Amino acid sequence: MNSLYDKVKKNLIWKSVFRRDYKDTVRNRAQAIFGNVFLHLHPVRVRESAVKLRFTWGMGGITLLSFIILTVTGIVLMFYYHPTVDLAFLDIKDLEYQVPYGVISRNLHRWAAHFMVIVVMIHMFRVFMTGSYKFPRQFNWGVGVILLVLTFLLSFTGYLLPWDQLGFWAITVGTNMGAATPLLGYQGPFSEYLHITPYNDIRFALLGGARVGGNALLRSYIWHCVALPLITIILMSVHFWRVRKDGGISRPQP
Amino acid sequence: MANENPHSSNYRAYLFAALSITLLALSAWVIWNDEFGLRPWKHYQKEYKSLKHDKLEKDYQQALQDFRRSGGARRLAMLEAQLAKAEEAFKQKGVHDRYVELNAQLDDLHAKMATNQKELQMTRGQFLETEYYFTKTQKPEYKKKMDELQRQIDTIDGKGKALLVKEEPIRQAIYKLTGGMTEIRAEIEAIRKSLEERKEKIANNDKAPIEIKQYLIKDTDKADRCVSCHAGIESNVQVSKKEPYTKHPLGFVYLGHHDPTKFGCTFCHRGQGRATTTIEKAHGNVKHWEEPMLKGNMTQTSCLNCHGDIKNLRGAEKIANDTELIRKYGCYSCHKIPGYEGMGDVGPELTNVGTKVNYSWAVRWLMDPKKYFSTARMPKFFFTKDQAEAIADYLFSMSGTTRHDVDYATATPNEQLVEQGKMLWSQARCNLCHMTNGKGGNHIKVYAPDLSKAGSKVNKTWLFNWIKDPNKYFPGTRMPRFRFTDQEINALVEYIVSEYQDDEAESAYTTPVQISAASIKKGKDLIQQYGCYGCHKIQGMEMVQVAPSLKSQGVTFLRSDEMREKIGTELSSIGSKPVDLLDFGKLKKSIPNDRLSYIKQKLRDPRGFRLGLRMPNFGLSEKEVNELAAVLYGFTDSNVPVRFLVPSRQELEKMAGVPGYKFTGDFAKVISDVKCTNCHTIKGIGADYAPDLSLAGSKLQESWIRSFLANPDVIRPLLQQMPKLGLTMGPKPAKITMPKFNLGVQKVEDTNRSDVDVVVNYFQQELVTPDIPKDLPVIADIVMPEQIAMGKKLYDQKGCVACHQIGADGGAVGPNLSNVGNRLRAGFIFKHLENSRKFKPDIVEPNYGFTERERIFLTNYLMTLKLTAK
């Protein structure tokens, strides 16, 4: 028995993965943090008062949880989804009726998305009310604001993907609002000075055309599944890193 | 307390445990729900399998029982014993060699027989060829050669027979030698197989996997999973009468012609083919799914998606019948409907209506046509008396200046004329089209006006002119021009006017009253607003309505009919119009918000949705509402693949660039007068109430055509004709025959040929086919009386008498043959006996497979059946 134990544990492979033993020493504990890329972003130590639910509401963590759920279910959904005009809606129907665990995947994705938007806003509200946006955390507040916008954009681009009437008209209305952007939208003020027309304005860039169609669906898909999540992950890393660097999560005055 | 440390609080441990258990339970539920809750078809398939198993098992047990009861087991044992014995005997020395030898002999014999047969065929061919030359040229050298060949045939035939005689002894010798081994083996095999096949079926059924089943339709977005639950829909055997296990009703018609793997389900049935989770979702009875499933006969509306011509389509009887309503009420007059372009006006021309009818009648009629005649086709526009008068004023002002009535009720009729008129009325069979006092009138499809109250409606002078030449007053009317003399017309007019009076008639304007200009203006505005010109031709109104897009460009008048926009909404895709685009108005809350409910409500009460609607009320019965709604529901712009489309004959001709058939010459003039195509079809034109005349020239004898036109009489027993005509003749049906048009009395305009000459000539020149020979082939070797006798014998043998009547004997399914020798051409009978379906595909007559000679005998016999003229 001991020889088997040795065989499994006393080799290079095991040791390169599990670099320490489990002895409860200060050094081991510290190394567990240093050696783990995920915990690296996490503050080295967390004060007891900081984990009080009453103060933080845990909203930041829950937002991260939502994001993870969304990533996992989103990848599952991508296996069954074609971002084309002919197939998009039918693929959604198939997810609903035929794909194994399609219903739970789609519904988890949808509800987690709604949940994330709400939770992000509550998180921001809490940060504001506890004054956690003040020095030294003013930079992280800025990063957080950008992350809020990214969350909204993820939500917006995902709305078109089922290619149903609801999404179609929501995107039509949303991008028409874009058309009224000052300078960049063809209906916006001052746009004439930049020679902006319906065919070169911000709405055109969003839709890949002058109206919602196949290109808009493809652009939404790529923003939603590739570009926006990448940017979000990068900024989230910065966000967490700043929490650590700015003295850990904010907590009530002692 | 020991638990001061918050990290080891029991409370949190319990909470955590409870949440974990909840999560576990939820996960378990998710798995269960995904496996079974969302996949009810698994249950249905299992159920179907077990039902099918039971049925197959029952069949098997039945077969087994039959097998036992009929002593099958004993027979099997006996056969096996016989076989064993035979096999033992076969093993004896020398038997096998003898067996091989005999088989070689048999093969040799067969080869000889085949050569003989070939030789015989060749010589027979030569004989037929020579015979053909002989009948053509009558040269004796051919006759000689024929005799020579006949001798050869006899010799070869004799040889063949001699060979045939040899076969049987060899076969018997083989049988004796083997003890019938081969036969016994075959029988044993057959007995075993009948049972084993059934067993195998059961095993296959039990092995079939429970899985999602779907029809993926190429080039479309269809994935119809209906068969996942309706597992037995394609089966020929009804496993259960319970849904969803039934087989498709009339499957051999619907699925037989539309392979479900190529057509799927939802092209015809609509519904949500992809959905499988609940019945409501799959059948499309859920919010935001605008195509609920069509069930039962309603599904026939989908035939309209692909079939251009549904008139004689098997399985589309209901919808074919329903489409007739579109023609009856002339929906296409106000609405654009594809396939109904250029149909002609539904109502009569109104330009000179002032010279035709009583003013009081016109006002009464305009206010509520259905109240005047319950069978009226004109809808109710809800005009007030003022409005009706204004419209009548406008119409009367086109041919006069006054409101005027004529009252014939008080006049004394000329009895002698009335008597003569009455006779003419029945001779001309006016009642065939026109209804009077609830009798007669083929108003189901011909829609001639009811004449019960005609005497109080129309003007005598007008009636005289109308009967004399209907085309003159109303070009394109379906009323034929009977060749009456002026005196006869006078008599007919006198009869109609005195016999058919309206008791409730008002005649307020027996002294004419001047029409005011203001009223005329008002009437004109009303006519334009409600689009009376959609159904009626009104001079000066053809060119008022212009497409709005053109109006905005300053164009107000256009002459062309095609440019005139229909007053109503286009109906070409009403059956697939998004529900959001239908204006439910104030009924939004009181009727279901779906397409079919909207269509039905619109037909029931067209103006009920909101103020300002213009569609009139047709007073449709609930049955008619349902029928019409079914048709409208079928007008879709559904994206059916082109390969599904079955264009109508007209469309095909148009696509091929073949112009439709047109009557030519003097015959065209006769047709436009007598309207033969009201009842007969000729070369694809016309109705199907009377026989198709496309090949009449090849079929009918000239003398018969002449005498029939002069004095029409029934050919076919009444039984068969009655339902097709759809007449309502009261308790005692009169004889229905063709009306007497008095052809031959007058010459066709601009020529000096009589009508009958023109008709007969056209029949013989145009309505013929080279497929039907003019004369019979001749059989030279049998004298005619003998041929006739053989024909009669055949007639009796084959039981022709069961359907055909000669003299007083025989059935009433086929035509009466008592006078067939005077009526039909011999060539036609000869060809008809060969293949009766060639000229009339839906004929009931069986095909007896007569030889050519038999057909000649029969024809010769039938041609002797002549009635002598009285």
Residues 6+ apart with CB under 8 A from B205: B49, B52, B53, B56
Domain count, chain A: 1
Give the integer Cα–Cα distance in Å for B853 and A111.
86
* A97 phi, psi to nearest 5 deg: -110, -30
Q: What's the pLDDT at B732?
A: 36
Spell out the domain ranges in chain B. 1-36, 71-179, 408-504, 665-765, 784-862
The tokens describing A247, both together, are: 């003295």
Please list every residue in chain A whose beta carbon sits closer than 8 Å to the beta carbon of residue B30. Answer: 101, 104
Task: Respond yes or no on whether the N-terminal peptide bond of residue B292 is cis (omega within 30° of 0).
Answer: no
Task: Respond yes or no on whether the N-terminal peptide bond of residue A136 is cis (omega within 30° of 0).
Answer: yes
Query: Does the pLDDT value for residue B594 go beyond 80?
Result: yes
Of A78-82, B146-150, B864-868, the range with the lowest mean pLDDT is B864-868
From the list B866, B498, B470, the residue with the least C-alpha distance to B707 is: B866
From the list B325, B318, B324, B343, the residue with the least C-alpha distance to B333 is: B343
Query: Does the pLDDT value for residue B2 go beyond 50?
Result: no
Dmax over CA atoms of chain A, in Å, equals 82
DSSP code at position B172: H
Tell me, yes or no, whether A202 lies in a domain: yes
Nearest chain B residue to A104 by CA: give it. Answer: B30
Q: Is A101 in Cβ contact with B212 (below 8 Å)?
A: no
Nearest chain B residue to A98 by CA: give it. Answer: B276
- CB < 8 Å & 24+ apart, contacts of B199-208: B199/B60, B201/B56, B202/B53, B202/B56, B202/B57, B202/B60, B205/B49, B205/B52, B205/B53, B205/B56, B206/B49, B206/B53, B208/B49
**Does the beta carbon of A38 lie under 8 angstroms from any beta carbon of chain B?**
no
Q: What's the pLDDT at A179?
A: 92
Please list every residue in chain A whose beta carbon sits closer than 8 Å to the beta carbon of residue B281. Answer: 97
Q: What is the mean pLDDT of residues B596-619?
A: 92
Tell me, yes or no, whether A184 lies in a domain: yes
Q: What's the pLDDT at B58?
A: 92
* Most confident listed range (A109-113, B151-155, B843-847): A109-113
- How many CB atoms within 10 Å of residue A225? 20
Residues 6+ apart with CB under 8 A from B384: B367
Q: What's the pLDDT at B747?
A: 60
Which one of B34, B274, B281 has the shortest CB-CB distance to A103?
B34
Q: Is B38 in Cβ contact with A93 (below 8 Å)?
A: no
Query: Does the pLDDT value for residue B5 go beyond 70?
Result: no
**Does the beta carbon of A90 lie under 8 angstroms from any beta carbon of chain B?**
yes
Nearest chain B residue to A107 by CA: give it. Answer: B30
Q: What's the pLDDT at B800?
A: 79
**Does the beta carbon of A86 lie under 8 angstroms from any beta carbon of chain B?**
yes
Best of A98, A103, A108 to disrupt the B interface (most B CBs within 10 Å) is: A98
Which one of A90, A96, A98 has the shortest CB-CB distance to B221?
A90
Nearest chain B residue to A164 by CA: give it. Answer: B288
Q: What is the mean pLDDT of residues B662-678?
A: 80
Of A146-160, B290-304, B336-350, the range with the lowest mean pLDDT is B336-350
Nearest chain B residue to A103 by CA: give it. Answer: B34
CB distance B430 to B549 below 8 Å: no
Tell me, yes or no, whether A13 lies in a domain: no
| Minimal CA separation from A99 to chain B, in Å | 9
Task: Find the CATH number of the domain harbouring A100.
Answer: 1.20.810.10
The tokens describing A30, both together, are: 């510290």
Tell me, yes or no, whether A25 lies in a domain: no
The tokens describing B747, both together, are: 């010459």
| Minimal CA separation from A104 to chain B, in Å | 7
Give the integer Cα–Cα distance in Å for A225 and A71.
9
Please give the angle made by the CA atoms of B649, B651 and B654, to the nearest 5 degrees: 110
Q: How confident is the model at residue B143 (pLDDT cuts 50, 70, 90)?
A: confident
Please list every residue in chain B whose beta carbon sits closer than 8 Å to the beta carbon of residue A100. Answer: 34
From the list A127, A177, A186, the residue with the least C-alpha distance to A156 is: A177
Write out residues in chain A with pLDDT < 50, as ranges.
none
Please give the angle made by the CA atoms of A239, A244 and A246, to the nearest 5 degrees: 90
Tell me, yes or no, whether A210 lies in a domain: yes
Q: What is the mean pLDDT of residues B775-783?
A: 76
Which residues, in sequence order, are bridge partners of residue B754?
A: B747
- How many CB atoms within 10 Å of residue B767? 20
User: Is B784-862 a CATH 3.20.10.10 domain?
Assistant: no
Q: Is B221 in Cβ contact with A98 (below 8 Å)?
A: no
Please list every residue in chain A whose beta carbon sits closer than 8 Å to the beta carbon of residue B223. Answer: 90, 94
Domain boundaries, position A167: 59-242
Which one of A94, A101, A103 has the shortest CB-CB distance to B274?
A94
Identical topology for domains B665-765 and B784-862? yes
Q: Is B30 in Cβ contact with A101 (below 8 Å)?
A: yes
Residue pairs between chains A and B whose CB atoms are closer than 8 Å:
29
CA-based radius of gyration for chain B? 39
Give the integer Cα–Cα distance in Å for B47 and B244.
10
Which one of A90, A103, A104 has the shortest CB-CB distance to B274?
A90
Q: At what angle do helices B359-367 and B385-397 cross, to 10 degrees?
A: 130
Higher pLDDT, B233 or B429: B233
Nearest chain A residue to B34 by CA: give it. Answer: A101
Amino acid at B368: D
CATH topology of domain B665-765: Cytochrome Bc1 Complex; Chain D, domain 2 (1.10.760)
pLDDT in tens, B717-751: 333 333 333 333 333 334 445 666 666 555 655 55
Q: Which CATH number fits domain B408-504: 3.40.630.40, 3.30.750.24, 1.10.760.10, 3.40.50.2300?
A: 1.10.760.10
pLDDT in tens, B539-589: 777 654 555 555 555 555 544 444 456 788 888 889 999 998 899 999 999
Query: Nearest 10 degrees: CA dihedral of B449, B450, B455, B458?
Result: -20
Q: What's the pLDDT at B675?
A: 80
Query: Does the pLDDT value for residue B649 go beyond 80?
Result: no
* B700 phi, psi to nearest 5 deg: -105, 150
**Does the beta carbon of A103 lie under 8 angstroms from any beta carbon of chain B?**
yes
Tell me, yes or no, whether A45 lies in a domain: no
Which one of A90, A98, A101 has the shortest CB-CB distance to B212?
A98
Query: Nearest 10 degrees: CA dihedral of A64, A68, A70, A72?
Result: 180
What is the ipTM score, two decimals? 0.83
Q: Is B38 in Cβ contact with A104 (below 8 Å)?
A: no
CA distances to A236, B52, B72, B353, B566 from B383, rounded to whole Å, are 75, 64, 85, 19, 21
Q: What's the pLDDT at B597?
A: 93
| Minimal CA separation from B277 to chain A, in Å | 6
**Does the beta carbon of A82 lie under 8 angstroms from any beta carbon of chain B?**
no
Which one of A97, A101, A104 has the shortest CB-CB distance to B276?
A97
CB distance B332 to B340 below 8 Å: yes
**Does the beta carbon of A98 lie under 8 angstroms from any beta carbon of chain B?**
yes
Q: Is B34 in Cβ contact with A98 (below 8 Å)?
A: no
Q: What is the mean pLDDT of residues B263-286?
A: 93
Amino acid at A22: Y
Q: What is the mean pLDDT of residues B465-489?
A: 84
CB distance B794 to B839 below 8 Å: no
| Minimal CA separation from A186 to chain B, in Å | 29
Which one of A86, A97, A100 has the shortest CB-CB distance to B221?
A86
Of A3-7, A191-195, B453-457, B809-813, the range with the lowest mean pLDDT is B809-813
Q: Is A97 in Cβ contact with B34 (below 8 Å)?
A: no
Nearest chain B residue to A96 by CA: give it. Answer: B275
| Minimal CA separation from A72 to chain B, in Å | 16
**Does the beta carbon of A169 lie under 8 angstroms from any beta carbon of chain B?**
no
3-state class (DSSP) for residue B215: strand
Give the integer Cα–Cα distance in Å for A194 and B1.
75
CB distance B630 to B301 below 8 Å: yes
| Minimal CA separation from B580 to chain A, in Å | 12
Nearest chain A residue to B580 by CA: give it. Answer: A165
Please list every residue in chain A whose beta carbon sits closer than 8 Å to the beta carbon of residue B277. Answer: 96-97
Q: What is the mean pLDDT of residues B644-658?
A: 80
From the list B676, B748, B660, the residue with the least C-alpha distance to B708 is: B676
Q: What is the mean pLDDT of residues B299-307?
A: 91
Q: What is the mean pLDDT of residues B188-202?
A: 88
Nearest chain A residue to B275 by CA: give it. Answer: A97
Best of B33, B34, B279 to disrupt the A interface (most A CBs within 10 Å) is: B34
Window A:205-234, CB contacts with B under 8 Å: none
Nearest chain B residue to A105 by CA: give it. Answer: B30
Helix or strand run (H / E) with residue B439 = none
**Does the beta carbon of A107 lie under 8 angstroms from any beta carbon of chain B?**
no
Please list every residue in chain B whose beta carbon sits closer than 8 Å to the beta carbon of residue A103. Answer: 34, 38
3-state class (DSSP) for residue B653: helix
**Does the beta carbon of A111 lie under 8 angstroms from any beta carbon of chain B?**
no
SS (H, E, C) B185-214: HHHHHHHHHHHHHHHHHHHHHHHCCCCCCC
Of A64-68, B229-233, B697-701, B727-731, the range with the lowest mean pLDDT is B727-731
Tell me, yes or no, whether A82 lies in a domain: yes
* B409 phi, psi to nearest 5 deg: -60, -30
Q: What is the mean pLDDT of residues B637-641?
A: 80
Please list every residue in chain A whose beta carbon sits closer than 8 Å to the beta carbon of residue B42. Answer: none
DSSP code at position B692: -
The tokens describing A22, both together, are: 């489990």
Q: What percent of chain B has pLDDT over 90?
A: 25
Which one of A97, A100, A101 has the shortest CB-CB distance to B275?
A97
pLDDT in tens, B354-389: 889 989 899 999 999 988 888 888 999 999 999 999
Whose structure tokens read 């039902």?
B51
Tell me, yes or no, whether A54 lies in a domain: no
pLDDT in tens, B235-249: 888 898 998 999 999
Q: Is B38 in Cβ contact with A103 (below 8 Å)?
A: yes
Indicate the pairing of strand B223-224 with strand B402-403. unpaired
Residues 6+ apart with CB under 8 A from B372: B364, B365, B453
Q: What is the mean pLDDT of residues B16-28?
A: 96
